Amino acid sequence: MVEAFLNVPRHPFVPVFYREAGGVHRPRRDGEPVWLREVYADQVLVTEVDGVPAEDAGAGGVNGVPTSSSTLPSLMADMLDALDVRPGDRVLEIGTGTGYNAALLCHLAGAAVVTTVDRTEQLVATARIRLREVGFEPAVVAADGAEGLPAGAPYDRIIATCGVRRIPRAWLDQCAPGGLIVAPIGGAVARLTKLPDGRAAGRFLHRPAAFMPLRSGPDHPTRAPGMRGERRDSRIGARVLDDPGFSFWAGLHLAPTVVRHGHVLHDLADGSAAYPDGSSTVTLTGPRDLWRTVEAAHRSWLDQNRPRREWFTIEAGPDAQHIGYTAPDGTAISWPSGC
Ligand SMILES: C[S@@+](CC[C@H](N)C(=O)[O-])C[C@H]1O[C@@H](n2cnc3c(N)ncnc32)[C@H](O)[C@@H]1O
């Protein structure tokens, strides 16, 4: 693993990336004094905002939501470690992005057995060129990663570098029995082993993992709705969601149709939204008080002595997914997730 990072440079994959200040993303280019230092720092490098690659951004920048990036290197390392790639393993990556992670996979498995997909022709064409420049020619394909890539199946290893609520059935079908799936779910990284009966089961890594979501089907709104509605006091403020342990727990209690924009919660099903602030008040809109669910989840999280992500199990089948937790007193709790 260390050897892969020592041998595969990051800079050819990020000649331009965005730096955000005051909500505006401005390009940082190869040649600027801090560029190289930032490339080799342990930080996320955003490379596309609202579909605009950093290369195409003018000096005025872009105001929008990141849609592609080079992941935090230390998180990439933990995910690759969990993926346990051996030479010759057939690997599928969902979320090519810059191609840097694909290059590390090529180093570990061999380029001939690596396939990587992303959602646009432009993204994959750029990544393909950069991979070739560093000496790798894996299959780089424009496709909806939610469908996997049946042509190359079965895969021994499947890794997603965009978040999902539920392991898609296609990934289960395309993973070889005994193979591994590593994917971000609910702000954590799940590592599952494919079972002979078609399901996959596993646990979560200890570290938090904020990933941009896998975008599939009709586009989800990427921005929070405008703040309006009734304001009320709350026992807890927005900050509780900054605790990755609680954030994971809260996600288990919120409906799968609830999306988060920073601290703002928005239920796509009925339009309800909650805008908590730092001073323990919350503004609510729509038919349901979403923040009540978070308050109740916070109480139960404290009652359960703040369970940590790595204590949870996950079981994914073609038709259902469950996340489970066994409390110290032996009580087992299970949540259907991502339905
Ligand atoms: C964090 S970036 C990937 C980082 C990348 N592995 C790297 O090393 O640069 C997440 C990527 O997931 C991609 N993505 C989102 N939805 C997708 C989908 N339905 N199918 C394939 N890729 C998708 C985004 O376009 C984005 O490039």
What is the residue extent of each domain of the chain? 2-70, 73-204, 230-303
Q: Distance from the CA of 292 to the center of ligand 1, in angstroms?
A: 33
With bands split at pLDDT 50, 70 and 90, how would you rate the model's confidence at 44?
very high
The per-residue pLDDT for 240 is 94
Selected residue with higher pLDDT from 280 and 199: 199
Instruction: Give the HSE-up count for residue 158: Cα atoms under 13 Å, Cβ half-sphere.
Output: 34
For ligand 1, atom 1: residue with the closest CA: 69
Selected residue with higher pLDDT from 301 and 186: 301
Before 154, cis peptide (omega within 30)? yes
For residue 224, pLDDT over 90 is answered with no
Q: What is the mean pLDDT of the chain?
A: 93
For residue 32, pLDDT over 70 is answered with yes
Backbone angles phi, psi at 45, to 5 degrees: -120, 110
Q: Provide the 8-state DSSP code for 77.
A: H
- Mean pLDDT confidence for 297-319: 94
For ligand 1, atom 15: residue with the closest CA: 214
Q: Distance from the CA of 69 to the center of ligand 1, in angstroms?
A: 8
- Mean pLDDT confidence for 180-194: 96
The minimum-distance atom of ligand 1 relative to the CA of 215 is 16
Name every protein residue with a CB atom under 6 angstroms from any ligand 1 atom: 67-71, 94-95, 97-98, 100-101, 117-119, 123, 144-146, 161-162, 211-212, 214-216
User: Ligand 1, residues 13, 17, 108, 214: which to mutate, most atoms within 8 A of Cβ?
Assistant: 214
With bands split at pLDDT 50, 70 and 90, how would you rate the model's confidence at 172?
very high
C-alpha R_g of the chain: 20
The minimum-distance atom of ligand 1 relative to the CA of 44 is 1
User: Ligand 1, residues 119, 131, 167: which to mutate, most atoms within 8 A of Cβ?
Assistant: 119
For residue 219, pLDDT over 70 is answered with no
CATH 3.40.50.150, applies to 73-204: yes
Q: Distance from the CA of 160 to the center of ligand 1, in angstroms?
A: 8
Residues in the chain: 339
Q: Distance from the CA of 182 to the center of ligand 1, in angstroms?
A: 14
- For every residue of 191-232, DSSP letters joined together read EEEEPTTS-EEEEE-SS----PBPP-SSPPP-SPPPP-SEEE
Summarize pLDDT for 128-144 with one digit per residue, the tens.
Answer: 999 999 999 999 999 99
- Across 6-39, b (16+ Cβ under 10 Å) vs e yields eebebebbbbbbbbeeeeebbbbeeeeeebeeeb
Summarize pLDDT for 257-301 with one digit per residue, the tens.
Answer: 888 888 999 998 898 999 999 888 999 999 999 999 999 999 999
Summarize pLDDT for 46-102 with one digit per residue, the tens.
Answer: 999 999 999 999 989 999 889 999 999 999 999 999 999 999 999 999 999 999 999
- Mean pLDDT confidence for 18-35: 94
The amino acid present at 187, given as its one-letter code, is G
